[in-house]
Structure 1
């Protein structure tokens, strides 16, 4: 009898110990092991394996039954795709939209509400863009320009009005020091669509400017896509300006607000008065042939000129006019300001791309359109702000 009672007791001791060990492994109140708990369900859009994912949407990652702890997205060139993780970890969204004909790899880590950690990788490729839009930016990257220079972006193809707010939001201007300014939509002299950014007032000399255009994957209209981002930087140089006083036949140069020289010349005649207001130097040419046909005067003349500083796209220039025997005495040009060759070179060397030239005292009543060159200063600040698609 004693032997029979000891044997069952001996078997029960390991059983009790085993039960205690099982509860310790499970923890208190879980009812099962962490290994058995369900993982968070992670969904990546576009879906994995898609060989022709649609354009026009960002990359999104969502977690059900838990939270995302890490999201890493790279394109097929190894470049990281920036995005934002929700505060509660429930979702991640890329800052931009997917680019055409690009393969993306999405790596995620998540933790379920039960504490289970999981990892996943998803890969997809976007469809080709049947039609593409590109742009040309002014100033060029690394350029030093004058204090009146706008940022000007010219598009190869039309930009639909419905697409303009999103495109404008994707364009970011950063300045050091901080400068207030705004984007405005413009019809270029060429007939193409353009968006310019101008400061409220002239730039301070020495300002560093960075422009970042996160345009890749945006539809500019008519199913025409941007296929890359655009980044460029430039610097504001010396504060060089000029003022033309039409009645006195003079052009005065100013360095940081101080006059540094006055030149006599001839502005437009009463029949073709020089356009008034503040113009921006858009380009320069050391030698050029003045063709009357380009400004609506048929075949009246074909003259060679030097040291040509371009203001409007329609033909308002500062240039040498050695054929004019009334320089500084009579305003008899067809809208330009003509000077001796040596004086034209002085002006040419003094004014940089982006410098401003103000024309005072003219009889011209024509309003110069903003797109007729870089004519952003023809409008007041309040007028300019109305050109924004986000107003």
Structure 2
């Protein structure tokens, strides 16, 4: 009986060992299957290589046979490149296009459909274009300006007509409070291309404005590209305006829509009448030499003036005219509005850059071109909207 029991136990032990080996074998088999599972194939575009990557496209990352779990892209200055991961995790695309002569590092993490995780790093460098297109923005960052101020962007190099819509889309204006407005393409007095944004109506005093130009990597045409983005902010100051009534020889100052003072002066003569419409103060000089050759009058005069407020680029100014013995009596200037030195200082201090000066009842029939200064108010809202490349 005892011996029989011992034989029975001997038979049970090998059975138990056999069961344990079977589990181990199953576990090893599963591990071998995972090891054999291919990792997701991650492709980065533009691709690295011996030649520089072409411009004009965003950075694209795709995963075949799985999905992306993390993507980090940095440029050669260490700045992160923002982008969006698709809902299914199969692709990632940068929000902007690649910039000229820049090295990018792309780090990815992915998981295959079978669960295998993988990491990879890729680098590429973009080409240097023939031209880098830069811009000059008005107002300047942090500036406080008048209620008629447009946003004006002047380009170093010409902008091809077929590139304007994309550039315009990349320029964003936000304000607090919200103000309706639109971009319009302009030929600057210098001959360069320009794009301006003007509100439908004048800015409310105190408005905070931000401009974001996501231009980096965009083709501007004629072998030119933008190398970076542009961001700037400005504030709308007090609501100061002026109105010139030519026949009565007067300039009336307005603050918050109410008259606060009148100045007598002399506008343009019948031969050179002051241009009409709403002008925008574009710049100011405390002292300046009036040179007749700059407005097509040869070498007729060279006169020193103080407290000069510039309206048009072609030479319509508000300024002191101490040489004029008929100020406030006769309109005898060559298109400017001349005043006594003290009155010129008064209006110089009252009108900030970006404020408006409306000229009424002039005999001038010349239409001032929008690019002749910051003359966006020479057109009505409907006319201005036609200047957009997105109309």
> Shorter-chain TM-score category?
over 0.9
Q: Which residue of 2 aligns with 1:116?
A: 116
Counterpart-to-counterpart distance in 1, 2:219 and 2:7:
87
Mapped contact 1:50–1:126 kept (Cα < 8 A)? no
Counterpart-to-counterpart distance in 2, 1:283 and 1:379:
21
Q: Which residue of 1 aligns with 2:95?
A: 95
Give the ranges of 4+ consecutive aligned residues of structure 1 lying more than 4 Å apart after TM superposition: 2-10, 21-27
Structure 1 segment 36-115 matched on structure 2, within 5 A: 36-49=36-49, 51-115=51-115
- Cα 1:71–1:324 shift into 2, 3 Å: same
Q: TM-score, normalised by structure 1?
A: 0.94
- 2:328 alignment partner, SS class: coil
Q: Which residue of 1 aligns with 2:209?
A: 209
Give, in angstroms, the shift of residue 225 of structure 1. Answer: 1.6
Give, in angstroms, the shift of residue 234 of structure 1. Answer: 1.1
Counterpart-to-counterpart distance in 1, 2:71 and 2:175:
31
Give, in angstroms, the shift of residue 32 of structure 1. Answer: 6.6
- Cα 1:22–1:246 shift into 2, 3 Å: farther
Q: 1:182-230 CA distances to partner (integer Å, 9 max, x unpaired)?
A: 1111000010000111111111111111112121211211111211221
Query: Does residue 1:367 correspond to 2:370, yes or no?
Result: no
- Cα 1:38–1:147 shift into 2, 3 Å: same
Q: 1:148-203 CA distances to partner (integer Å, 9 max, x unpaired)?
A: 11111111111101111111111111212211111111000010000111111111
Counterpart-to-counterpart distance in 2, 1:25 and 1:245:
96
Counterpart-to-counterpart distance in 1, 2:335 and 2:280:
16
Counterpart-to-counterpart distance in 1, 2:264 and 2:29:
96
Counterpart-to-counterpart distance in 1, 2:161 and 2:219:
11
- 1:167 alignment partner, SS class: helix
Counterpart-to-counterpart distance in 1, 2:354 and 2:385:
20
Q: Which residue of 1 aligns with 2:280?
A: 280
Counterpart-to-counterpart distance in 2, 1:4 and 1:52:
80
Structure 1 segment 120-131 matched on structure 2, within 5 A: 120-131=120-131
Give, in angstroms, the shift of residue 266 of structure 1. Answer: 0.9
CA RMSD in angstroms comes to: 2.1
Structure 1 segment 191-340 matched on structure 2, within 5 A: 191-340=191-340
Give, in angstroms, the shift of residue 258 of structure 1. Answer: 1.3
Counterpart-to-counterpart distance in 1, 2:319 and 2:83:
52
Query: Does residue 1:18 correspond to 2:51, yes or no?
Result: no
Counterpart-to-counterpart distance in 1, 2:365 and 2:230:
39
- 2:191 alignment partner, SS class: coil
- Cα 1:106–1:291 shift into 2, 3 Å: same
Mapped contact 1:106–1:121 kept (Cα < 8 A)? yes
Counterpart-to-counterpart distance in 2, 1:121 and 1:222:
34
Give, in angstroms, the shift of residue 25 of structure 1. Answer: 7.4
Q: Which residue of 2 aligns with 1:173?
A: 173
Q: Aligned residues, how many?
A: 388
Q: TM-score, normalised by structure 2?
A: 0.94
Give, in angstroms, the shift of residue 114 of structure 1. Answer: 2.0
Q: What 5-or-longer segments of structure 2 have no aligned partner?
A: none
Give, in angstroms, the shift of residue 381 of structure 1. Answer: 1.1
- 1:371 alignment partner, SS class: coil
Give, in angstroms, the shift of residue 231 of structure 1. Answer: 1.5
Q: Which residue of 1 aligns with 2:378?
A: 378
- 2:186 alignment partner, SS class: strand
- 1:220 alignment partner, SS class: strand
Give, in angstroms, the shift of residue 147 of structure 1. Answer: 0.7
Counterpart-to-counterpart distance in 2, 1:91 and 1:97:
16
Mapped contact 1:50–1:125 kept (Cα < 8 A)? no
